[in-house]
A = this chain, B = another copy of it.
Amino acid sequence: MTTTEGSIHELVEHRLRQSDLRYTPGRRAIVELLLRRGQPASIADVEAALPQVPRSSAYRHLVDLQGVGVVRRVAANDDFTRFELAEDLTEHHHHLLCTSCGSVTDVTPTEAFEHAVHAMVEEFSRQEGFAPLSHSLDVLGHCQRCR
């Protein structure tokens, strides 16, 4: 994936406009934070990094951005939802979930592996009459800091 940072912002603005939404400073601050972090962020992370963005606004922005396909929710192994940029703005990847501290780490699979996953997903779906849209592979275990 060779999406440049600038083109990402253009794309975000375009998608918001499609829904008559503006790319305001608050929304942009959140997108920039997610870009900068490169790892899923919790609301606590957002608040810590963007104290000027009220919690209720941060939640609303994340919901709006998710609605236009810019942000994706990530379920971790604790009570807190995380958020990251949608895969079509970054690249397809999977997650290592720490069962001790709840942290989430991105990892990128090889193409050969993804081919095998797609084939298996197609097989599952055919069996069950399911229409697949995407998949996620989570590895549970202990992160480097927690081992």
Contact = CB atoms under 8 A, between A and B. Distances in A.
Contacts of A128: 96, 105, 107, 143-144
B135 A140 contact: yes
Nearest to A116: B116
A99 B130 CA distance: 11
Contacts of A52: none
Contacts of A131: 141-142, 147
A137 interface: yes
B137 A99 contact: no
A57 interface: no
B107 A127 contact: yes
A139 B129 contact: no
B133 A141 contact: yes
B138 A124 contact: no
Nearest to A132: B141
A92 interface: no
Interface string A106-137: 01011001001100110111011111111111
A124 B139 CA distance: 9
A94 interface: yes
A120 to B, nearest CB: 5
A139 B144 contact: no
A75 interface: yes
